[in-house]
């Protein structure tokens, strides 16, 4: 029996121009500031080779030191200020589109769900990270 893949979409509109949004989304010094789903987590390390076939890795860790993991993958498609697509280490795919709306930027992120956690939990977690990105970018 063939398994059906489930895709989840999260989105936001950031009150910032697309060039700033792109920079804050892709530069490691910014990635470490917003890549966490809750305040008791952080991202102590990030590296990013933003090009097709380039690799990325962000370490996500509980602030109390109890748990950490590397979120990593390989880019399959990059168009500056428009699209980032990648495959995660476990084979799941992600596509992020950026569209300029004057001084605002819409981000739509669609990712393949994993089979361990409920879809709602995954959607909430990814949306929380996206909300952190919006808050961080708008505050700088």
pLDDT surpassing 80 at residue 14: yes
Contacts of 136 (CB under 8 A, 6+ apart): 24, 30, 33, 34
Q: What is the pTM of this model?
A: 0.95
Please write the tens of the pLDDT for every residue from 40-68.
999 999 999 999 999 999 999 999 999 99
Question: Is the domain defined by 7-40+78-139 classed in CATH 3.30.530.20?
Answer: yes
Domain boundaries, the chain: 7-40+78-139
Nearest by Cα to 106 from 62, 66, 137, 76? 137
């Amino acid at each position: 029996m063939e398994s059906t893949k489930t895709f989840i979409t999260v989105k936001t509109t950031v009150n910032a121009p697309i060039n700033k949004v792109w920079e804050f989304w892709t530069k490691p010094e910014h990635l470490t500031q917003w890549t966490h789903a809750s305040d008791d987590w952080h991202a102590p390390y990030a590296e990013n080779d933003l090009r097709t076939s380039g690799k990325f890795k962000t370490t996500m860790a509980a602030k109390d030191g109890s748990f950490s993991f590397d979120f990593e993958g390989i880019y399959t498609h990059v168009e500056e200020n428009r699209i980032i697509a990648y495959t995660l280490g476990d084979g799941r795919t992600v596509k992020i589109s950026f569209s300029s709306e004057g001084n605002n930027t819409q981000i739509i992120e669609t990712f393949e769900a994993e089979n361990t956690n409920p879809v709602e939990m995954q959607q909430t977690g990814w949306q929380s990270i996206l909300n952190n990105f919006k808050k961080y970018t708008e505050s700088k």
